[in-house]
Amino acid sequence: MSESGPPGGVTSERSTIREVARRAGVAIKTVSRVMNGEPYVSEATTSRVMEAVRALDYRPHPGASDLRRATRKHRTIGLMIGAFGNPFSTELQRAVEQVATEQGAMVLTASLDRDAERERQTITAMLARRTEALLITTPTRSHDYLREEQEHGMAVVFVDGAAIGVSADAVLSDNRRGAATAARHLLERGHRRIAFLGARSDVHSPQQRRLGFLEELARHGIHQPAKHLIEDLDEESAIRAVADLFASADPPTAIFSAQNLVTVGAIKGLRRAGQLARTALVGFDDVPLFDLLEPAVTVVRQNPREIGLVAARRAFERLNGDSTPPRTVLLPVQLIQRGSGEIGPPDD
Amino acid sequence: MSESGPPGGVTSERSTIREVARRAGVAIKTVSRVMNGEPYVSEATTSRVMEAVRALDYRPHPGASDLRRATRKHRTIGLMIGAFGNPFSTELQRAVEQVATEQGAMVLTASLDRDAERERQTITAMLARRTEALLITTPTRSHDYLREEQEHGMAVVFVDGAAIGVSADAVLSDNRRGAATAARHLLERGHRRIAFLGARSDVHSPQQRRLGFLEELARHGIHQPAKHLIEDLDEESAIRAVADLFASADPPTAIFSAQNLVTVGAIKGLRRAGQLARTALVGFDDVPLFDLLEPAVTVVRQNPREIGLVAARRAFERLNGDSTPPRTVLLPVQLIQRGSGEIGPPDD
DNA sequence: CTGAAAGCGCTTACAG
DNA sequence: CTGAAAGCGCTTACAG
């Protein structure tokens, strides 16, 4: 019967509106009025009710009220992030939480850094808690199941990714242009052999970064050799990939790493290969302390905070009735020159 | 009446158990049985019900079921973290989420990096969502209001902090011993003027670190001068504090920074003062990329993942009926020598 | 200004 | 194996 109590103590049951009403000598409707701050309750009655509320430590059961209520009072939105470890996700989460707080809502967060099965379970669990909106990053490609939810009124916003097979809002960086900017930066310094180190090739944002990079090279008449185009890397495999590059016949003079943790791996790989000081490196997406490394790391900085703010606001607009066609918002990125990207090619 | 629909589309109302029952030609109790996997339903009936469920895209309303049910099916626990930006919090959160998933629960996360008022609001909001357990880090000193919740069956576990004025479980690093270890490490290398840079002086863990540090110095006959004991720092103010130290008459030869972001500030300050290569530095709590800095940063590493796992498991043990006296778990920390802490004092 | 009745969507307790 | 009734804690719609 009883749930667990305070350690070593006794659990008193939560009191109900009925008990408060009885103690105050009024109808439950009157208690309801007081709790909801409705007008037309006499001061005397109000204070009698409040006294009973205090005496019984009464707290309304939100599930029960939302059950009958037409519009929900206790809003919860869900945030599904790709990987917890990434500083991008952290900033994103903070921004989403801020907007939710402003809207009187709370955030259920879950990471997807496991498998697709896990993604499915998590979404089911969120739906089971009546999550009203879903901000979703780097999910599996099949979003079909999300459509059903949308049709039932759930607001779905894709963050750092495109909506594939679903008509939904999306908020992400201008990945293509950012990657092109990085490529141009290296080309302008005279680099011609620029390795591309990419993250997941099955995900939209990394794909766009590859595209932007290759397009810019092509504009300069460069056809990227396959051995300098490496994808599906994480931090660990990036270390090995860089080692392999510099053990090969024709090593690059510059590297564009298209994801922040891949950049960390690239730095470690360059260092181990003894190439850190003489190989140019531009990374996509910043990481704290990149500015303190030697050389400091030049990056195309995106704005995860802004992405989170825009995406969360969009979700609440949808919840508040906005039914305009879905929009994709591309946020600008910025090249931050810190040193690593300004290393020139060897003189030979 | 209608909530927002999919952008540009139509919202179909969520269907109820009654509609499913009508379509399947059975009583709602039978639908309930099928949905909950109860035995004693004929195969024929089961498939008729399942068909109706599919046709109507029915999903049970969890709030309604938990309302009548004795034991809750949809568990939610709350995690209140001090600051989102800190890698410690990120690791902690990830671990808590993992345990919650294993237990079929979800995590409501909120940061407290604003004011005490915000802390109160957040807790209220979590309670309003029937959060069953609360993992709480670095809260305000007055925990009185938590006792009330505990008495109503909420499991409260303090993470990275002691339970003050409340009888509750707590999980944290052995801050005092860790700080003593750091002090001894610097003392053994011959340092006698060791500045202490501390974080919030009103919070338990930083206090313990100061205590452990000062005790160890005292054991070596050193009485810490006030000007070398600076507290209530964050990253920015730590930068200035270090600048001030080296502008003073009697600068330290070593620094112990008692919190990870303070350590980042200390590094920046040392660099600006041109003292980075010749001043020993040991930080409490690790940060990604500390190993890549030059010199790499020696730290007393705590284990936020383990803290999160232990704390979350404790919470679920409480929820599952454990009513043994509250325990405080101190987790060991480890000195990681990377270079910055092994710099000796100047020869003079 | 206040209250009695019906109902939200589901489960319990009971009967068949 | 199946179902009708009562009830979870609250709000709505209505009456006074």
Measured between CA atoms, the residue of chain B closest to residue A99 is: B110
Give the least confident one: A28-42, A64-78, A147-161, B246-260.
A64-78
* HEC sequence for chain A: CCCCCCCCCCCCCCCCHHHHHHHHCCCHHHHHHHHCCCCCCCHHHHHHHHHHHHHHCCCCCHHHHHHHCCCCCCEEEEEEECCCCCHHHHHHHHHHHHHHHHCCEEEEEEECCCCHHHHHHHHHHHHHCCCCEEEEECCCCCCHHHHHHHHCCCEEEEECCCCCCCCCEEEEECHHHHHHHHHHHHHHCCCCCEEEECCCCCCHHHHHHHHHHHHHHHHCCCCCCHHHEECCCCHHHHHHHHHHHHHCCCCCCEEEECCHHHHHHHHHHHHHCCCCCCCEEEEECCCCCHHHCCCECEEEECCHHHHHHHHHHHHHHHHCCCCCCCCEEEECCEEECCEHHHCCCCCC
Does the nearest atom of strand C lie within 7 Å of A324's Cβ? no
Mean pLDDT of A190-205: 94
Q: Which residue of B289, B309, B338 is the best one to mutate when testing the A interface, meaning the one whose CB has the most A CBs within 10 A?
A: B289
CB contacts of B107 in chain A (<8 Å) are 108-110
CA gap A92, B85 in Å, rounded:
11
In eight-state DSSP terms, residue B291 is G
Q: Which residues pair with B76 in a beta bridge?
A: B106
State the nucleotide closest to A44 in CA–C1' terms: C1
Mean pLDDT of A73-93: 86
**Least Cα separation, residue B132 to chain A (angstroms):** 10
State the nucleotide closest to B69 in CA–C1' terms: C11
Q: Which residues pair with A159 in a beta bridge?
A: A137, A171
CB contacts of B320 in chain A (<8 Å) are 4
Residue-level pLDDT at B113: 67
Q: Is B271 on the interface with A (CB under 8 A)?
A: yes
CA gap A155, B8 in Å, rounded:
12
Interface contact flag, B107 A107, Cβ < 8 Å: no
Residue-level pLDDT at B34: 93
CA gap A200, A205 in Å, rounded:
9
Reply yes or no: is the peptide bond before residue A7 cis, omega within 30 of 0: no
- Digit-coded pLDDT (tens) for A237-278: 999 999 999 999 999 999 999 999 999 999 999 999 999 999
Interface contact flag, A128 B74, Cβ < 8 Å: yes
The length of chain A in residues reads 348
pLDDT at A216 over 70: yes
Q: Which residue of B1, B3, B66 is the best one to mutate when testing the A interface, meaning the one whose CB has the most A CBs within 10 A?
A: B3
Interface contact flag, A8 B287, Cβ < 8 Å: no
Mean pLDDT of A172-185: 98
State the nucleotide closest to A24 in CA–C1' terms: C2
How crowded is residue A57: how many other Cβ atoms within 10 Å of its Cβ? 13
**Residue A32 in contact with residue B348, Cβ under 8 Å?**
no
Residue-level pLDDT at B109: 87
Residue-level pLDDT at B62: 77
CA gap B261, B287 in Å, rounded:
8
pLDDT band at A194 (very low <50, low <70, confident <90, very high): very high
Residue-level pLDDT at A8: 42
Of residues A14, A116, A2, the one with CA closest to residue A63? A14
Of residues A84, A144, A72, the one with CA closest to residue A109? A84
pLDDT at A331 over 80: yes
Of residues B334, B278, B325, the one with CA closest to residue B306? B334
Could you tell me the mean pLDDT of each successive run of 10 residues in chain B, 348 residues long? Answer: 41 79 93 89 91 89 81 83 85 92 86 71 76 81 72 87 84 97 98 96 93 98 95 97 94 97 97 96 97 97 97 93 92 98 88
How crowded is residue A321: how many other Cβ atoms within 10 Å of its Cβ? 10
H/E stretch holding B329 reads strand B328-331
CB contacts of B147 in chain A (<8 Å) are 6
Interface contact flag, B57 A152, Cβ < 8 Å: yes
Residue-level pLDDT at B104: 83
- Protein residues bordering strand D (Cβ below 7 A): A 16-18, 28-29, 32, 35-36, 58-61, 64-65, 67-70; B 25-30, 33, 39-42, 44-46, 64, 67-68
Q: Which of residues 84-143 of A touch B (CB under 8 A)?
A: 84-85, 90-91, 93-94, 97, 101, 104, 106-111, 118, 122, 125-130, 132
Does the nearest atom of strand C lie within 7 Å of B45's Cβ? no
